[in-house]
Amino acid sequence: MPTDSPKSKEAEAKLPEELRAAYRQMVQHYEFLTHVRYGRGYVAYEVLAEMVLAGWRPSGEVHPSSLLAVGNTTQGTHGD
């Protein structure tokens, strides 16, 4: 799991405790989507940590057409 990697832990450690859950969720979602779309789960941990510090948070429900929607297998992969 990407949140257990040394680089992820290093980036997470720089965040205040109250932001770490948002960071972990963002890392998991980003890794999943890059794996589905591009076949590789690349994550720029420091960039995601900075985005969380800048205020990025989930603000709405996942749209049914999202690959993150539970059970959604209708979307293409690798940029389709």
Q: Which pLDDT tens digit goes with each residue over 8-48?
A: 999 999 999 999 999 999 999 999 999 999 998 889 999 99
What domain range is 16 assigned to?
2-53
For residue 39, tell me if it sits in a domain: yes
Alpha-carbon distance 46 to 70, whole Å?
Answer: 28
Q: How far is the C-alpha of 56 from the C-alpha of 32, rounded, in Å?
A: 18
71 in any annotated domain: no
**pLDDT at residue 79 in the model:** 43
Q: Over the stretch 55-68, which tens digit does the pLDDT of each residue have?
A: 998 888 888 999 98
pLDDT at 71 over 80: no
58 within domain boundaries: no
Domain total in the chain: 1
Burial-class residue 58 by CB neighbours within 10 Å (0-12, 13-18, 19+): exposed
Q: Has residue 78 got a pLDDT over 60? A: no
Tell me, yes or no, whether 72 lies in a domain: no
> Is 52 exposed, middle or buried (CB count within 10 Å of its CB: 0-12, 13-18, 19+)?
buried
Q: What is the pTM assigned to this prediction? A: 0.80
What spatial distance separates the first Cα and last Cα of the chain, rounded to whole Å?
25
By three-state DSSP, how is residue 15 classified?
coil
